[in-house]
Structure 1
Amino acid sequence: MKKVAVYPGSFDPITLGHLDIIQRGARVFDQVVVSVLHNSQKRPLFTVQERVQLIREVTMDIGNVEVDHFEGLLVDYIHDRKATNVIRGLRAITDFEYELQFASMMKKLDSNIETLFMMTNNQYSFLSSGIVKEVAQYGGDIGDLVPPVVEEALKKKYTN
């Protein structure tokens, strides 16, 4: 049986920390579905379609990674994708409380779904999409925080 995991997130934008988790997850699972959450409560910088395209570009060399998007309950999406695992990245202990609540609710909704926590590489432990956007907005160097295609997309967003 194929082991499929979903790596959900807003990815606004995808960072090297996210990419690290995707690459490592792809070594653990037969297929990783990176899925962009459309959250109507948030005002993202990039549209869902732009985020999906950026992720596709930076993961095109990872053969067992697929990029998609969803809206609604993650558990329903996981069922639709016939997955049994969720990948969640942890940067620091501050992430753990939220992620524990997330995993507990997932387990309550479907006891067959397992959540795998992956610690990010130490060099990315401070990194978040929000920090990247703030630095990019003021013209700071983000070249070692995001893939080159994302750096260019951010520059375009903030020069328009």
Structure 2
Amino acid sequence: MDIDGEGLLLERVLEWMIIGLVGSIIVSAWLLIPPILRPTVIAYPWRMPESYSYRERDKTRTVVLAGSFNPPHFGHLAMLEYLSKRYKQVIVVIGINPNKIYAVTPAQRVELLRKMLQVKKLDKNIRVEVYAGYIWRYARQQGATIFFRGIRSWERDGKEERSLQILNTWGPLVCGPFVWPLPTIFLEGKPEYNHISSTLIRDLTKDMAGTESEHVEQSLQDLVPPEVAKELSELYSKEAKKAS
């Protein structure tokens, strides 16, 4: 083949590569934009969509539930109990920003959650970890097949969650690179715990800073397991004192 022929062949190969890349982007957008516009939100009692309803297959799966758990509470535990019964392994991931200083560190929150799981006898197939980096990447490394997020309701938390969903959807494709994202499923809270939030607990400990610890613990007993109420109140009371 002469030089002109080789040059023409190279041009054709580059053209097809560009066409393939553009086509891949179009197909990816066509497949991934709808879940962002219409996220999968599962209300209690958490009946999964048909495509995720194969119980036998689910018993072999690893899934990730990510959040700040600052602090963990009964609402989180209810979701984890459901996931632990359905899936082989549940990995709870608390993300960390290395550039941020935490009053109650992710490691301390991990220990709190582990103790809560032990108290509720949910620690058999639930692992709690801290990860600094893209959580979708960690989930892939652990062989997870579904990415869960816990919310009170989409109306209350959807705006903030959508930005995270976009990151977890497009991040693998852009930064992977070209890694297909895990499906994200949002679990709405169990109604009896929907009044509970981590912010509520932090505000409560802040407002009661300086109050006798027994009173703080009593106030927390409907929000977290009583066995860890004292430790939690001490941790977050210290946070409130530092902030004041």
TM-score bracket for the superposition, by shorter chain length = 0.7 to 0.9
The reply to whether residue 29 of structure 1 matches residue 87 of structure 2 is: yes
- Separation in structure 2 between the aligned mates of residue 80 and residue 64 of structure 1, nearest angstrom: 18
From 191, 199, 220, the counterpart of 1:142: 220
Q: CA deviation at 1:73?
A: 0.7
Aligned length: 160
More helix by share: 2
Match of 1:98 in 2: 160
Structure 1 residues 28 and 41, CA, compared in 2 at 3 Å: closer, same or farther? farther
Q: CA RMSD in A?
A: 2.1
Tell which deviates more after alignment, 30-39 or 150-159: 150-159
Aligned to 1:18, which of 66, 76, 81? Answer: 76
The 3 A distance-change label for structure 1 pair 64 and 51 is same
Deviates more, 1:125-134 or 1:95-104: 95-104
- When residues 41 and 119 of structure 1 are mapped into structure 2, their CA distance, relative to the original with a 3 A threshold, is farther
Which AA in structure 2 matches 1:72? G
With normalisation by structure 2, the TM-score equals 0.59
Higher mean alpha-carbon deviation, 140-149 vs 83-92, is at 140-149
Structure with the higher strand share, 1 or 2: 1
Change (3 A) 1:19 1:42: farther
**Identical-pair percentage:** 26
Q: Which has the higher relative contact order, 1 or 2, with Cα contacts under 8 A spaced 6 or more apart?
A: 1
Q: Which residue of 1 aligns with 2:201?
A: 132
For the Cα contact (< 8 Å) 1:4–1:33, is it kept in 2?
yes
Structure 2 CA distance for partners of 1:28 and 1:42, relative to 1, 3 Å: farther
Q: Which structure 1 residue ranges, 5 or more long, are not aligned?
A: none
For residue 151 of structure 1, what is the aligned residue in structure 2? Answer: 229
- Tell me if the contact between 1:84 and 1:112 (Cα under 8 Å) persists in the aligned partners: no
Match of 1:107 among 159, 169, 172: 169
